[in-house]
Amino acid sequence: MAGSITYLVTGGTGSFGRMFVASCLDNPKTKRVIVYSRDELKQHEMRAQFDDARVSYFIGDVRDKDRLTRAFQAEVDVVVHAAAMKQVPACEYNPFEAVATNVLGAKNIIDAAIDCGVNKVVALSTDKAVNPVNLYGATKLCAEKLFVQGNSYAGKSSTRFACVRYGNVVGSRGSVIPVFMRQRETGTLNVTDERMTRFWITLDQGVKLVHTAVARMIGGEVFVPRIPSMGLIDLARAIAPEARIHIEGIRPGEKLHECLISSDEARHTVRLKDMYVIKPEFPWWGSAGWAQGEPLPDGFEFTSDKNERWMSATDLARMLEIMHNQGHPVGRRKDDFRKKSAPKRISLGAA
């Protein structure tokens, strides 16, 4: 994208939003970054973190189309949609609120972007959107479909929509890693199921993926990074090797393993060096883009239990050390990570 760029980030005061804003400010081509969120306290705290005249703050909710339209009228070039209800239990207990934010909010983003002439919109999605078993995943699947098909609503306008889809974020708010770090002080870690596996990505990797999507999108793609898996029991033992492990049992709405690309999606997906690109299957998508990608074999699935890439305890320690050096509150130095503060025994099984 030539010239100076104005970004708007919904949910911009969250873990992802803060790092994305920092990355934009490192780019001399950035003209302005608009943080759009509904929490004035977090915006106040963010002002103290970013002493830069290019950052401005809009109080608003993605449920409010009029407010979104007003924000997008500030000559916004790129919208990154990170606002969502993300906690599975909260979405299960408050289903109408989850739909209003994650689904109707997505529609509002699409309508406002087209009406205001935004060039590119990239929405953040999750592995839970693939073959969903909970309401959170179902709302994110619906949001993905809306953003892909939003390109047909855009018609001949310049507005284009794409998504990125990835797994658990190391150290994000609500992640199991900070939970395990707190629990290790008690000597007992609570694990739902010893067979469970998950995909893992760092905030920095997520931010880079979004920038890649903005730069390379044609419109309608879902970008999926080739990220590693780690067993939940291995994660627990890496964080607190001497802690006792209590098996709680799988919770409602949880899967044993997650999937980032289903076998049905694989038929129109190409593999690149560091990511997959799921191409849309609609007549309006006539571009020959992504011809450089490698088609996937029949029956391919990208699941956390059959992944080619696995994260070791050393990899996790390195990730947390990097986060510590970046000033992330969940990050830890290597010495902190290896500290043995729990009782000297390991047991596996319900207590």
- The Cα–Cα gap between 72 and 75 comes to 7
- The Cα–Cα gap between 318 and 341 comes to 20
φ and ψ at 191, to 5 degrees?
-120, 135
Taking the C-alpha atoms of 296, 201, 135 and 84 in order, what is their torsion angle to the nearest 10 degrees? -120
Residue type, 195: R
Dihedral sign from CA coordinates of 86, 66, 1, 287 = positive
- The Cα–Cα gap between 171 and 109 comes to 28
CA separation, residue 224 to residues 21, 221, 265, 269 (Å): 21, 10, 12, 10
Token reading at 188: 């007992």
- The Cα–Cα gap between 109 and 195 comes to 38
Catalytic residue among 65, 120, 128, 255: 128
Whether 268 and 289 have beta carbons less than 8 Å apart is answered as no
Whether 243 and 184 have beta carbons less than 8 Å apart is answered as yes
Token reading at 303: 């699941």
The answer to whether 273 is a known catalytic residue is no
At 302, which helix (H) or strand (E)?
A: strand 302-303
Pairing of strands 229-231, 197-201: antiparallel
Q: Which residues are catalytic?
A: 128
